[in-house]
Amino acid sequence: MSVKIAGELQSGNVIIVDNVPVIVLKAQYNKSGRNAAVVKLRMKNLMTNRISESVVKADDKLEGVMLEKKECTYSYYAPPAHVFVDSEFNQYEIDAESISDLEKYLVPDMTDVCEVTFYEGRPISVVLPKIIVREVEYTEPVVRGDTSGKITKSAILKDSKHELQVTQFVEIGDKIEIDTETGEFRRRCN
């Protein structure tokens, strides 16, 4: 067990609430009055999978849980779970709802090394590398002489069909770097 300050909570953290482990799915920090702050938490009960929402003061102390972590790669989707594999070919299933924010980056047999978190031997969350590379399946070509002033355009990623904003010079087939923490395009690779 460890102490977690509410204002430092992030998605993927596991805390004890009412004697039950819950995983933080989303932590939203908001400044309140007189330099105080509150944090809205969206959490999943690891025993029942029930989703709930709470709010805490940013300086509240919560009971955290020390968790085991392993490097794995993503393998495939077997509804309702995603399957990850470690270096010894052990397979771990993680409920898709728990990692719904990441699904847009999951591609079968992708080579990115992910960090899977376990609670009492059970896989509960995944963290992707901060930077991943994906191929652009479709984007509008640059219009020569376009003076509209737009500096970004939409692009659709291969396999996941995820859409994001890229710079004007990105073309179909380009490989691009994406920041998984912000979800933003970083740069073209080739």
Residues of this chain that bind other proteins (CB under 8 A): 15, 17-19, 28, 30-36, 38, 40, 53-57, 60, 62-63
Are 83 and 126 spatial neighbours (Cβ–Cβ below 8 Å)?
no
> Quick check: 136 and 110 in contact, CB under 8 A?
no
Is the CB of 33 or the CB of 145 nearer to other proteins?
33
What is the torsion angle, in degrees rounded to the nearest 10, for the CA atoms of residue 26, residue 42, residue 25 and residue 179?
Answer: -20
Q: How far is the CB of 27 from other proteins (least distance, A)?
A: 13
**Which CB, 5 or 85, lies closer to other proteins?**
5
Nearer to other proteins, 53 or 140 (CB): 53
Q: Is residue 40 within 8 Å of 32, Cβ to Cβ? A: no
Order the strands of the 113-119 sheet from edge to edge.
91-95, 81-86, 68-78, 113-119, 122-127
> Which distant-in-sequence residues (6+ apart) come within 8 Å of 104 by Cβ?
157, 160, 162
Rounded Cα gap, residues 89 and 72, in angstroms: 9
Q: Closest distance between other proteins and the C-beta of residue 64, in Å?
A: 12
- Under a CB-based contact definition with an 8 Å cutoff, are residues 111 and 74 in contact? no
At its nearest, how many Å lie between other proteins and the CB of residue 153?
29
- Shortest distance, CB of residue 46 to other proteins, whole angstroms? 14
Minimal distance in Å, beta carbon 117 to other proteins? 20
Between 16 and 172, CB nearer to other proteins: 16
**CB nearer other proteins, residue 55 or residue 189:** 55
Name the minimum Å distance from CB 103 to other proteins. 24
Query: Of the two residues 53 and 71, which places its CB atom closer to other proteins in the complex?
Result: 53
CA-to-CA separations, 21 to 54, 67, 118, 127, 180, in angstroms, rounded:
14, 11, 12, 19, 26
